[in-house]
Amino acid sequence: MNEEKNENINDKDIQVVLGTLLRAGVIISMSIVLIGGVIFLIHNKGVITDYKVFKPELSKFSSIGEIFKGLSSFHGDAIVQFGILMLIFTPIARIIFAIFSFLIEKDYLYVLIGFIILAIITISLNGGLAH
Amino acid sequence: MSVLLFTIIVLLGAFLAGLLGSLTGLGGGVIIIPLLTLALGVDIHYAIGASIVSVIATSSGSAAAYVKEGITNIRIGMFLEIATTIGAISGAVVAVYLNANYIAIIFGCILIFSAIMTLKKKIDHTTLDKTDKWAKFFKLNSSYPDKGVDHAYAVKNVPAGFAMMLFAGTLSGLLGIGSGALKVIAMDNIMRLPFKVSTTTSNFMMGVTAAASAIVYLHRGQIDPGIAMPVCIGVLTGASIGSKVLLRTNTDKLKIVFAVVVTFLALQMIYKGISGL
């Protein structure tokens, strides 16, 4: 969307960009999950799993900060979590894109609706809700 | 069980769940959760966290195709996402205070309900009556292309549909599923949308809805990379292949067989939940 910006961008163009954005988000994030998964398996393949009881205190990467910290030390499971994080942000990026496209269309009601959804999601980003 | 063996079993199971979920329209999440909990003894909290991630992957993947075709009604989707995201976060928050056994029982009931819904014959409720003032205000009436022809449709009962979406979102957040069956009821039966528009728009909304509750789950440590990785890769691969096969197969018989299997799984989850109380 460059020089077309001031022209009348119709719904069809928006839909094509939106579709591409979603697909790219899924492909990229799932590739990261796959790479992280392979590294994780190489290092942990013989470890015995135990998921019988939910132990939240054992989870190492349960916030964005922890995931990035683990990423810098190249942990397989941190890379998987990073891919999942990107996957979670794919539909959120879609909302942000939709807000822009409604702004260009001058449909301010839907710009507002987009912001309301973002606000709701931001509330969930507040880790306090989880405890 | 070693991590390698566990990953391979979950990967295969998730692949089948994704494949069957997309062929029958039930979704991968409702199958992978019983599989993880009943067959592998995984705690339902971990199963839900992994499932919600796979819901984001499959719904975003297939929404990409539908959106490009112009069938998805983005305005209806975004308008109703207000309801589904509020519901999803509430559901995910409530899930902390609920004992795993109660979650299993509710899950089983929703599973049976979804299985019945896939078997029920769909009745077309579409209308051209554009008198609903909410639909007019939110610009929800639209048209969709089918074989080169544009079909116009009008939207009815917006507040009731919105309320139903709030409920669908809550269950999605509570159970880690897409709750497509409930969304389709809200859109087909209450808001009177054409099937094509309701199924694709429901899919479109699922990603954002699941993302809202996934963030809560992530912070709570319910998304474990060791389970989420094979689940989301398996379900996504299965669902992508399923959607390609779907175009050339008649799935009526498969749906019946599958509904029976799913009901059996659901009863087991309910039984396990009740006996654990």
User: Which residue's entry shows tokens 């509020």?
Assistant: B86
- SS3 call for A52: coil
The two tokens of residue A17 are 């960009």
Q: CA-to-CA distance for A63 and B167, rounded, in angstroms?
A: 28
Which DSSP letter does residue A61 get?
-
- SS3 call for A118: helix
At residue B2, φ and ψ (nearest 5 deg) are -75, 160
The two tokens of residue B40 are 């592998």
Residues contacting residue B114 through CB under 8 Å, at least 6 positions apart: B26, B27, B30, B180, B181, B262
- SS3 call for A126: coil
Q: Which residues pair with B151 in a beta bridge?
A: B144
pLDDT beyond 50 at B240: yes
> How large is the average pLDDT for residues B135-139?
88
Write out chain B in H/E/C secondary structure.
CEHHHHHHHHHHHHHHHHHHHHHHCCCCHHHHHHHHHHHHCCCHHHHHHHHHHHHHHHHHHHHHHHHHHCCCCHHHHHHHHHHHHHHHHHHHHHHHHCCHHHHHHHHHHHHHHHHHHHHCCCCCCCECCCCCHHHHHCCCCEEEEECCEEEEEECCCHHHHHHHHHHHHHHHHHHCCCCHHHHHHHHHHHCCCCHHHHHHHHHHHHHHHHHHHHHHHHHHCCCCHHHHHHHHHHHHHHHHHHHHHHCCCCCHHHHHHHHHHHHHHHHHHHHHHHHHC
Give contacts of B44 with chain A, Cβ < 8 Å. Answer: 54
- SS3 call for A50: coil
pLDDT beyond 60 at A120: yes
Single-letter code of the amino acid located at B119: L
Closest CA to B52 of B171, B170, B173: B173
Disruptive mutation site among A77, A94, A97 for chain B (greatest number of B CBs within 10 Å): A94
> How large is the average pLDDT for residues A55-70?
83
How far does B235 lie from chain A, in Å, by closest CA?
A: 12
The two tokens of residue B228 are 């989420």
Which DSSP letter does residue A3 get?
G
The two tokens of residue A18 are 């939106």
Q: CA-to-CA distance for A46 and B77, rounded, in angstroms?
A: 45
> How large is the average pLDDT for residues B45-64?
90
Q: CA-to-CA distance for A23 and A21, rounded, in angstroms?
A: 6
Asked which of A105-109, B122-126, B231-235, B247-251 is least confident by mean pLDDT, the reply is B247-251
Searching chain B, which residue's CA lies closest to the CA of residue A83? B229
Q: CA-to-CA distance for B277 and B264, rounded, in angstroms?
A: 20
Cβ <8 Å between A48 and B2: yes
pLDDT beyond 60 at A5: no
Q: Which of A55-69, B42-56, B176-190 has the highest mean pLDDT?
A: B42-56
Alpha carbon of B232 to those of B95, B246, B255: distances in Å? 21, 20, 23
Disruptive mutation site among B11, B32, B56, B229 for chain A (greatest number of A CBs within 10 Å): B229
Name the H helices within A3-107.
11-44, 64-72, 76-104
Q: Which pLDDT score, from 0 to 100, does residue A6 have?
A: 39
Task: Quote the percentage of chain A above a pLDDT of 90.
Answer: 44
Give contacts of B64 with chain A, Cβ < 8 Å. Answer: 19-20, 22-23, 26
Searching chain A, which residue's CA lies closest to the CA of residue B86? A120
How far does A22 lie from chain B, in Å, by closest CA?
A: 6
Q: Rounded to an integer, what is the distance from CA A114 to the centroid of its chain?
A: 17
How far does B86 lie from chain A, in Å, by closest CA?
A: 7
So what's the ipTM on this one? 0.90
How many CB pairs (< 8 A) connect A and B?
209
Disruptive mutation site among B165, B208, B240 for chain A (greatest number of A CBs within 10 Å): B208
Global confidence as pTM:
0.89
Searching chain A, which residue's CA lies closest to the CA of residue B1? A48
Q: Confidence class of residue A2 from pLDDT cuts 50, 70 and 90? A: very low
pLDDT beyond 70 at A7: no
Check residues A58 and A44 and name the one with the higher pLDDT.
Answer: A44
Disruptive mutation site among B56, B165, B236 for chain A (greatest number of A CBs within 10 Å): B56
Give contacts of A98 with chain B, Cβ < 8 Å. Answer: 74, 78
pLDDT beyond 90 at A26: yes
How far does B277 lie from chain A, in Å, by closest CA?
A: 16
* A34 touches B at CB < 8 Å: yes
Q: Which pLDDT score, from 0 to 100, does residue B196 have?
A: 85
Q: How many CA atoms lie within 13 A of B95 on its CB side?
A: 33
Q: CA-to-CA distance for A81 and A66, rounded, in angstroms?
A: 10
> How large is the average pLDDT for residues B172-180?
90
> How large is the average pLDDT for residues B95-116?
90
